[in-house]
Structure 1
Amino acid sequence: MNVNNIKNNKLSRSATYLLAVFFLTSCGTPDLDTIKIPTSDPKLSLAGTIFQPIGKGPFPLVVLSHGTPSTASKRAKYGYWYKPSIVNALTLRGFAVIVPIRRGHGATGGEFAGSFGDCSDPDFYNAGLADAEDILATLRFASGISYIDNTKIILFGYSAGGFASIATANLKPKGVIAIANFSGGRGGVHYEKFGIACFPGRMTETIGRYAENIDIPVLWHYVENDVFFPPDTVTEWFQAFKDSGGNGKLIIEPPYKSNGHKLLVSSGGVSIWGKAFDDFLVEFNISTIIKN
């Protein structure tokens, strides 16, 4: 066996990887591959985008779910919620990525289905299930795509999208093998009451109810200076998750810039959340499942 050939092959693979990283991170926003995702309502489809990694596939799938701004005007501005740093990090790891835009947001528009009502008496449980319907619609859509391996799906959510991913796991959708919840929750009161979520005890109850039906591992990834969900609150939620039979891992990172809630969507946060995500996949044997 020629040692020089081995070295050259390794260098070639490294160069290809670095070139891909440079291309994906330095070029401008590409033309998005937009999709329409059918729902149970024949008059309604969800807007979305889809991203395919380099190679032939079939590829494991990440369904990437966005957060929920507090006002209708902010939700309307979401467009297709294109986050290059997240998408690039996931496709470079070999995942196909679908980003559905839930009802009441951005390019989908329409009625906001995921409202939890008033902060004084929030219905987090049914709000989560309403958003879960849109994630389930996305999974049905993905089942018809030949280059996606629908037995290896990770629900990957940010903020309200993390909570919606947990709510979806409670419904035991076929093919979903793990949840990655980044800064997940609902009811955050931004800046007005720094680090205080409305009715966190109600969320604790909701998480406990969901966890009774969740039998796949869940990554809980938060940051110490999250302006919505402080460490004490998050720790209480995770404890309720475990007490109800949930299996997972809680990570609370050190403070990130002025607002840790934005770590995932910040281009500078990839090295932090990426390591936590990779370690989670290994620790819970998900990386082995994906490779086989």
Structure 2
Amino acid sequence: MQNRLGRFRLVVSVMVFAQWQYLANAAESDPIATDLHETVVAVPMMEKGLFGTSQREIVATTYMPDGAGPFPLIVLSHGNPPNAHDRIKVGRYRKITQIREFVRMGFAVIVPIRRGYGATGGRFAENTGSCRAPDFEAAGAEAAKDLLATVAFADTLPQIGRDRVILVGQSAGGFASLAAASYAPKGVIAVVNFSGGRGGRPATNPGDPCAPERMADAIGHFAATTHIPVFWHYVQNDLYFSPDVVRTWFSAFQAAGGHGQLVIEQPFGRDGHGMFAVDSAIPIWEPGFERFVSSVLLSTAPGTPAP
């Protein structure tokens, strides 16, 4: 029995490794932005499975300004497509125009692809369960593991300013960033949440997500141990999360002790939920984003008195 179990584990390990190699090679075949020093990397992390805890790797991409650094870092997190079959289409989440703006501001950027998506593939770790009774806390905690592993990996890179890390995420990536911040990862100084949340039903219930009160509870849970500022950026015509729902979530965040700022932009396009990823929208969100991150970096600069 032990021999059969050992052989089975070996076969599973080989299959997982082969899948990762295939996906990584596919990711590396994408056009590389040499001006951004784009590099595909493997982020190690520990994952619980059927046979205990084992190490696996997630695919990530780094982008750097010119020079040796150290540079402040943005960890950029992707969303979750409404259709599960579209998760593979996340690829490496190469939002090059947006990333180029971050690099222009002086940031290094790392973009991890969480388990179950795009170039990483494998088991989807962020399942929330039914729409009526979703477990957003568990999904957020799983997503946070990938981001925490990414922050730890980035800490080993010589170009990175290890005490100046900002988590930036869109949609499910915004929620993942909120969740990760609650674990107080070393060096993380702020979060930027673009249209963050889970449970959106844009096709059937525009603006009315699954169990928004449960999301409010999950946000309050994570906010209770979050001690860094969070910039919340949403849009009035978001077909996933209406402004009324978002204000309820932000109130839960503040009531639990969270410190942050909520901005709700004027309607954008047919669905403002994806504003961050639209190149033409950069002039809309960038000024507020740049003011926020500049103030955070200034307040955490060496020699700055504590508030």
When normalised by structure 2's length, the TM-score is 0.83
The corresponding residue for 1:281 is: 293
Deviation at 1:287, TM superposition (A): 3.0
How far, CA to CA, are the matches of 1:276 and 1:29 in structure 2?
Answer: 29
Q: Is contact 2:164-2:297 (8 Å) kept?
A: no
Residues 1:56 and 2:47 are matched in the alignment: no
> Can you give the 5+ residue segments of structure 1 that lack an aligned partner in the other structure?
1-27
Q: Is contact 2:42-2:58 (8 Å) kept?
A: yes
How far, CA to CA, are the matches of 1:184 and 1:223 in structure 2?
Answer: 11
Residues 1:243 and 2:246 are matched in the alignment: no
The corresponding residue for 1:193 is: 205
Deviation at 1:29, TM superposition (A): 6.1
Deviation at 1:165, TM superposition (A): 0.3
Does the C-alpha gap of structure 1 residues 290 and 91 become closer, same or farther in structure 2, counting only changes over 3 Å?
farther
2:43 counterpart (37, 40, 62): 37
Share of identical aligned residues, percent? 44
Does the C-alpha gap of structure 1 residues 67 and 216 become closer, same or farther in structure 2, counting only changes over 3 Å?
same
Deviation at 1:56, TM superposition (A): 2.4
SS at match of 1:264: helix
The corresponding residue for 1:220 is: 232
The corresponding residue for 2:223 is: 211
The corresponding residue for 1:125 is: 137
How far, CA to CA, are the matches of 1:78 and 1:246 in structure 2?
Answer: 30
The residue type paired with residue 279 of structure 1 is: R
SS at match of 2:267: coil
How far, CA to CA, are the matches of 1:112 and 1:119 in structure 2?
Answer: 17
Does the C-alpha gap of structure 1 residues 156 and 108 become closer, same or farther in structure 2, counting only changes over 3 Å?
same
When normalised by structure 1's length, the TM-score is 0.87
Does the C-alpha gap of structure 1 residues 71 and 44 become closer, same or farther in structure 2, counting only changes over 3 Å?
farther
The corresponding residue for 2:186 is: 174
Deviation at 1:80, TM superposition (A): 0.6
- Matching of residues 1-292 of structure 1 within 5 Å: 30=33, 32-41=38-47, 42-282=54-294, 285-289=295-299, 292=302
RMSD: 1.4
SS at match of 1:44: strand
Larger deviation, residues 156-165 vs 49-58: 49-58
Deviation at 1:72, TM superposition (A): 2.6
Q: Deviations over 1:194-216 (max 9, x none)?
A: 11111001001111111111110
Deviation at 1:70, TM superposition (A): 2.4
Does the C-alpha gap of structure 1 residues 212 and 290 become closer, same or farther in structure 2, counting only changes over 3 Å?
closer
Q: Is contact 2:114-2:120 (8 Å) kept?
A: yes
> Can you give the 5+ residue segments of structure 2 that lack an aligned partner in the other structure?
1-30, 48-53, 303-307
